[in-house]
A and B are shown apart, each in its own frame.
Chain A
Amino acid sequence: MGTSYLTIGGLGASVGLLIYAGLTYMLTNYGFRFDIGWFLLAISPYQWALVGIALAVSLSVLGAALGIFATGVSILGGGVKAPRIRTKNLISIIMCEAVAIYGLIMGIVISGSISSFSATRIEDLALKYRAGYKLFGAGLSVGLCNLFCGVCVGLVGSGAALADAQNSSLFVRILIIEIFASAIGLFGLIVSILQSSGSNMAD
């Protein structure tokens, strides 16, 4: 809640440090050391692909977890005074869970494309780097899509549970909204499959 002196101090110190470092490099003619191209080439394609897998799984699970948290507490709270909603609203939890499963699937698919290579020529290496970048992009896209999809399904599911507690005819209508919400996670899955399909690191 409110900005404290510690946060302001920390932020100010780090910004100051960055500016100092940047100015030092620039003014002492070592600016060339700040080389983005070298940075990208120095990271091996394995690193990119595996970080892609990590992002795919972890961000999807994060989205699903936030969604289940939002829906679950509302079902519990509403279920105290209206016990009939408990079983029906588990559908919302299942839809959040599906989001995590998309991430799992993509993780498996991406990891299937990773294998060792021993290319040395620059044209072959370029293809390997391309594969790495593609797998990273696939993982990132499915991860972020599922993150937002999971949170969205969770919030809508929470609203569905509370509305159901008041008036049971509302549940089916709000479920339709939830279906649209979970469709966006599917989009992320589709795009990431397309991205990772052509990429193979094998020789």
Chain B
Amino acid sequence: MDHGYAEGLCRGFKSGILKAADYHNLVQCETLEDLRLHLQSTDYGNFLANEATPLTVNIIDDRLREKLVQEFLHLRNVSYQPLSTFMDYITYGYMIDNIVLLITGTLNQRAINDLLPRCHPLGTFEQLGGITIADTPAQLYTAVLVDTPLGPYFKDCISEHDLDELNVEIIRSTLYKAYIEDFYNYCKEIGGITAEVMCDILAFEADRRAFMITINAFGTALTQDERFKLYPTCGYLNPDGLQELRRTDSYEGVRDVAARYPVYKSLFDGSGTNLGDKTIEDKFFEHEVKLNMNAFLRQFHFGIFFSYLKLKEQEIRNIIWIAECISQKHRARNMGDDMMSYNGGVALAMKGKECVAIACDKRYGVQNRTIATNFTKIFQYGDYCFVSFCGLATDVQTVSERLRFRVNLYELREQRKIKPIVLYNMLTNLLYERRFGPYFVFSLVIGLDPKTGETFVYDSDNIGAISDNVNLATVGTASDYIFGLGELFFKPNMNADELFEATSQSLLNGVDRDSASGWGVLVYVVERNKVTVRELKGRQD
């Protein structure tokens, strides 16, 4: 009864939790900007107002968590004993997570300044920065943690083992077990409605931990006895259920143990491991939310503060899930949303010593659907001139045919084969004629002068921008990846074989990173006396 203000405030916060109608609106959002707009009309208000576009899911996550931490700290500041001790107990869970995060970060040689911002703000305490100096749990305890509120929890996990990956997880589970049992006893001491509500919630949490430790330990190096030491004893499973869980070694065994307790039986029955079923973790989350909501039905107890925090965390998880789905769909729709990536495809041209090579992939697709795998994009306009077009497939055909028309007329008039530089100028003129309604193709022109051995590699964008005679040029949807590889493999003055290797390896490996290109490679190597064509088979996907 003493804490009416904090309780009234907490209930006010709780009434701002998103309802089904709000989620309905959020699910309809197409972009993250829409999401921000819809969140403005809820209790969240303008919390994202100062963020620069583009919004990312990480920024939204950080802001949501910041808001929750602000609200919790405000409640903590207006509370006094014994509510303040209760709320401190809630933060110990986050302290444990922070300690484990720092220890694993130190094991992976991360700097302390990188790790500290990633700690959960509710779980900070003064000695947090000093965690990284310890090597063994004993050192950790005596040097750093003995004065913190987590000191008593370390009694069980001080051992001679050094801190390494597996042991850190065991330390986390041992600490959490000690914490939850301590919290449970504290709530029992408070008595009254708080004890009724909180002990129910904490018992479920303890049992859920026991089940998840058992299920996740199948197939790992954790023995049954070690597992047993990690089970918290303050749940409904204690003591018979825990003994049974210790002896099981399959998911079916866990199901059988759960079958003895009506609540857990219904949870396990509603879940399954097939696709489309709810997993057991989902069912546990649902049950936890139900218990937390029931805590609000009673007045004058501390359970509502714990439940409010957990419900808000679940809401943040929901919003982030929706935001991830939005951003994934958005990214996926980007493929083929614009004309240049609608059909996909890529080409590369590289220079060597008195030889040039040009290569392209063979995919023809419509957005993410592959239609044909023999659509090559290289066209020959003369004995030693080759052009490759990448972009919208219809324009590839159109431009190559129109260029062929002009080259044929040239050859008829001039009575000789066209030179590479002239071909390039002809192509860029053709493209610039359509400056304000352009063709959607990027082009590569290569050529060789058989008398002098001079090599030419040019590229152009879709309105005919002229480039210099370069060593390496790429066009297409995977051009960035292939350019990087090409730069890696390129050496000046390569001979024909080395040139072929460099070109084909760049292309074959670069298209693996792009879903719109692939299905094999066609390589033309042009030398002074011959042109070699090779078709390569790569990953067929």
A associates with B:
yes
Q: How many angstroms between the C-alpha atoms of A128 and B300 in the bound complex? A: 48
Report if B218 contacts A (CB, 8 A): no
Q: Tell me the nearest residue of chain B to A75, going by C-beta.
A: B8
What residues of chain A lie closer than 8 Å to B21, measured between beta carbons? Answer: none
Report if B20 contacts A (CB, 8 A): no
Tell whether, in the assembled complex, residue B8 and residue A162 are in contact, meaning their CB atoms are under 8 Å apart.
yes
Tell whether, in the assembled complex, residue A165 and residue B15 are in contact, meaning their CB atoms are under 8 Å apart.
yes
Report if B7 contacts A (CB, 8 A): yes
Contact flags (1/0) for A1-34 with B, using CB distance below 8 Å?
A: 1100000000000000000000000000000000
Q: Tell me the nearest residue of chain A to B191, going by C-beta.
A: A1
Tell whether, in the assembled complex, residue A77 and residue B11 are in contact, meaning their CB atoms are under 8 Å apart.
yes
Given A81-B16, A165-B15, are A74 and B189 neighbors across the interface (CB < 8 Å)?
A: no
Tell whether, in the assembled complex, residue A78 and residue B12 are in contact, meaning their CB atoms are under 8 Å apart.
yes
Report if B6 contacts A (CB, 8 A): yes
Q: How many angstroms between the C-alpha atoms of A76 and B11 in the bound complex? A: 12
Contact flags (1/0) for B1-42 with A, using CB distance below 8 Å?
A: 101111111111101100000000000000000000000000
Report if A142 contacts B (CB, 8 A): no
Of A1, A69, A74, A155, which is within 8 A of B8 by CB?
A: A74
Of B1, B9, B190, B300, which is within 8 A of A77 by CB?
A: B9
Q: Interface size class for chain A?
A: 20 to 34
What residues of chain B lie closer than 8 Å to A73, measured between beta carbons? Answer: 3-5, 8
Tell whether, in the assembled complex, residue A79 and residue B189 are in contact, meaning their CB atoms are under 8 Å apart.
no
Q: Tell me the nearest residue of chain A to B85, going by C-beta.
A: A1
Main secondary structure of the interface of A (DSSP, over half): helix
Given A159-B299, A166-B15, are A79 and B4 neighbors across the interface (CB < 8 Å)?
A: no
Report if B82 contacts A (CB, 8 A): yes
What residues of chain A lie closer than 8 Å to B7, measured between beta carbons? Answer: 74, 77, 162
What residues of chain A lie closer than 8 Å to B1, measured between beta carbons? Answer: 70, 155
Contact flags (1/0) for A48-76 with B, using CB distance below 8 Å?
A: 00000000000000000000011011111
Tell whether, in the assembled complex, residue B82 and residue A81 are in contact, meaning their CB atoms are under 8 Å apart.
no
Of B4, B12, B189, which is within 8 A of A80 by CB?
A: B12
Report if A92 contacts B (CB, 8 A): no
Shortest distance between the CB of A98 and any CB in chain B (Å): 21
Q: Tell me the nearest residue of chain B to A2, going by C-beta.
A: B189
Tell whether, in the assembled complex, residue B4 and residue A165 are in contact, meaning their CB atoms are under 8 Å apart.
no
Tell whether, in the assembled complex, residue B13 and residue A81 are in contact, meaning their CB atoms are under 8 Å apart.
yes
Q: How many angstroms between the C-alpha atoms of A161 and B5 in the bound complex? A: 11
Q: How many angstroms between the C-alpha atoms of A73 and B1 in the bound complex? A: 10
What residues of chain B lie closer than 8 Å to A76, measured between beta carbons? Answer: 4-5, 8
Q: Which of A124-163 contact B (CB under 8 A)?
A: 155, 158-159, 161-162
Shortest distance between the CB of B185 and any CB in chain A (Å): 12
Report if A202 contacts B (CB, 8 A): no
Given A81-B16, A155-B1, A158-B299, are A165 and B82 neighbors across the interface (CB < 8 Å)?
A: no
Tell whether, in the assembled complex, residue A1 and residue B82 are in contact, meaning their CB atoms are under 8 Å apart.
yes
Of A75, A79, A81, which is within 8 A of B15 by CB?
A: A81
Shortest distance between the CB of B420 and any CB in chain A (Å): 74
Q: How many angstroms between the C-alpha atoms of A75 and B12 in the bound complex? A: 11
For B3, B4, B190, the residue with the greatest tally of chain A CB atoms inside 10 Å of its CB is: B4
Of B6, B11, B13, B16, which is within 8 A of A162 by CB?
A: B11
For A1, A2, A161, A165, the residue with the greatest tally of chain B CB atoms inside 10 Å of its CB is: A1
Report if A82 contacts B (CB, 8 A): yes
Of A1, A2, A77, which is within 8 A of B5 by CB?
A: A77
* Given A2-B189, A81-B9, A166-B15; 13 other pairs, CB 8 A cutoff: A69-B4, A73-B5, A74-B4, A74-B7, A74-B8, A77-B7, A77-B8, A77-B9, A77-B10, A77-B12, A158-B299, A162-B299, A165-B15
Q: List 13 A-B contacts (CB under 8 A).
A: A1-B189, A70-B1, A70-B4, A73-B5, A73-B8, A74-B7, A77-B10, A77-B11, A77-B12, A78-B12, A80-B8, A81-B9, A165-B8
Show the binding face of A for B, using Cβ within 8 Å.
1-2, 69-70, 72-82, 155, 158-159, 161-162, 165-166
